[in-house]
Structure 1
Amino acid sequence: MPGTRLTATHLTRRVLTTVPPRGAVIVAVAGSEALRDRSESATFTAGPERRVHMTI
């Protein structure tokens, strides 16, 4: 998600927590290390390389 602002990350998290069933895993790849770090601070969990995930 190049150029994504932290506000968009929070909005995405809010939407994703209302759509998938409980227990679903959301996976994404950040466009940069900085975005991965910001995503991690927004309750995503960092994985290998620039991957992040969140369990609903």
Structure 2
Amino acid sequence: MKTFAGNQLTENPQTKCDTIRQARYKVLEIALKMKMKGLDNSLIAELTGLPLKDILLF
């Protein structure tokens, strides 16, 4: 959530952190679905931007 502090527009750091965390979980969820459908590990890594070593852990 963005709030006004004087003339500056600032973001709540906790909200920003939560948004980033949610985005990471969503990418992991998508990667897992791709893996379950049988896509190649290197293709999943390329499409999601995740390191190949993380994909191999699934």
Which TM-score tier does this pair reach, normalised by the shorter chain?
0.3 to 0.5
TM-score, normalised to structure 2, is 0.34
Structure with the larger RCO, 1 or 2 (CA within 8 Å, 6+ apart): 1
Higher Rg of the two aligned structures: 2
